[in-house]
Amino acid sequence: MTLFSNPLVVDLLAKYRPIAAMTHTSALFQWDLETNMPEAGANARAQAQAEIELLRQKMTLDLTGLIEKAEKQKTLNDAEKGVIRVIKRELDFYQKIPADLLEQLQKATVEASVPWREARKKADFRIFQPHLEKITDLKRKQAERLNPSTHPYNALLDLFEEGLTITDLDQIFSVLIPQLKKILAKTLGQGKFPEKHPLEEADYDVEALKQVNEKLTSLLDMPGKRFRQDVSTHPFSIRIAGDDVRITTRYQPKNFKASMFGLIHECGHALYELQVDRELDFTPSGTGVSSGVHESQSRFWENIVGRSRQFTSMTYPLLKTKLSSLSLYDENQVYSYFNTVRPSLIRVEADELTYNFHIAMRYELEKKMLQGTVQVSELPSVWNDMIEEYLGKRPPDDAQGVLQDVHWSWGQYANFPGYSLGNVIAGMLWNTLTRKQLLPIKGDKSIPALKGWLAENIHKPGATYPPKELLNRVFGHGYDPSGLVSYLENKYLAPN
């Protein structure tokens, strides 16, 4: 049965296909940029990407009349309402953001890429400062265009997490952060989960770990013909098409768990895209609905499944065969290594208990930057003060502070909360799936059962329902941090 029958919607979708083809092209460009492109190709790629974006704007604006007509149709099914809602959001964006602002933003972010890398390498914020000033100024203008009657953060947040506002986020963090502080203090006091483990300093054989990662993708039953993995500096996952989803991993010299859990994380993102209803291919709803929901899928597989006691039991024999450094450590010790807990300065290396402090801090700081109460020039010192307040540690230099993340150089303001929302929704999943006895996993057969449940409940509709509505349908309520708190208490504080 086909999802779409309303003639106006069918017509609109036919006219949308060239736009979907441009999404396909841009995604392939992006993947190539991160994996294969020679460095000097960057300028031409940036120009080409900007041209595509402008073309996309023009093609979307050309559909204005049809979109407005389709929107007025009375008897639409959920899938039809979904595609119209998503196209309408794209149209709204392109109507409000003039072409020259789109182009300036695109150029400013491309121009910032090399200075950010250099600044980070030399731990010298001044190299990046003028670029970030320009980007911040353009983002304020963008927010003003999108919604002049609200906090600039709300306007930008909506681009990543539809319908979410700072009122929601303030509420979530005000519950989550004090609870996390308590769990962290108790966990550190008990000492059951070590702060450090010698395996973090151990070298490993990259070829052997590649074989492990290969096996892990088969354990997760990733469909070989529709999925591929490559190596890149920063791991990511990208949808090219419903039958072509790609991830990357990285292999640093030590600490093999970073590569292994990075791989599982990206597989979680990829599974979401691979399990979207194929009838939504080439429609605007044929992809994950928001940053938060997407990240919930990666964090679910990485942390709730991947770092569990049961998954460690499943993978330990394989790891022991392949990685010689493991000969000294039994299964319990490897589980401890997977779950070390300590406040640290680098977000991407943070454990489950301290990760959200990094996000809460960036969220507070970004609000001030967009409002103009913190100037870009003040950032390094404000960053250091704020992170010290959350983690009790002060960065020794800006590379370990304000320069660590790439997001601002990309012009991504208001995207960080998506990571915490991902953890929150993953906690909601833990709650529900534990009640349904799909968790904790019990061997290989649990994996397809979990994938099947996620496909039916989260993945299949793609972007058909806005995130709050999707959560309501699945859980009976919106973003609720209590599931995450229960999950963490259960894992870190339970006796035995």
Which residues bind to Mg ion, rule: CB under 5 A?
Answer: 298
Tokens coding 91: 């149209």
| Min CB(408)–Mg ion separation in Å | 17
Tokens coding 199: 């395996």
Q: Quickly list H helices, 239-378.
A: 256-274, 291-299, 309-322, 331-338, 355-371
Active site residue 118: no
**What is the DSSP code string of 197-223?**
-GGGG-B--HHHHHHHHHHHHHHTT--
| Min CB(299)–Mg ion separation in Å | 8
Pick 55 or 348: Cβ nearer Mg ion: 348
| Omega of the bond leading into 343 within 30 degrees of 0 (cis) | no
| Min CB(174)–Mg ion separation in Å | 24
Pick 298 or 312: Cβ nearer Mg ion: 298
260, 213 contact by CB (below 8 A): yes
Q: Name the CA radius of gyration of the chain, rounded.
A: 23
Closest-approach residue to Mg ion (CB): 298
The catalytically annotated residue of 266, 273, 295, 302 is 266
Angle at 208 between CA 203 and CA 214, to 5 degrees: 130
Pick 293 or 374: Cβ nearer Mg ion: 293
Pick 298 or 384: Cβ nearer Mg ion: 298
Under DSSP, is residue 230 helix (H, G, I), strand (E, B) or coil? strand
| Min CB(67)–Mg ion separation in Å | 31
| Min CB(295)–Mg ion separation in Å | 5
Pick 23 or 298: Cβ nearer Mg ion: 298
Cα(5)–Cα(2) distance, rounded to whole angstroms?
7
Angle between helices 256-274 and 291-299 (to 10 degrees): 130
Tokens coding 301: 């597989």
Under DSSP, is residue 341 helix (H, G, I), strand (E, B) or coil? coil
| Min CB(421)–Mg ion separation in Å | 12
Pick 192 or 407: Cβ nearer Mg ion: 407
| Omega of the bond leading into 481 within 30 degrees of 0 (cis) | no
Q: Which residues are catalytic?
A: 266
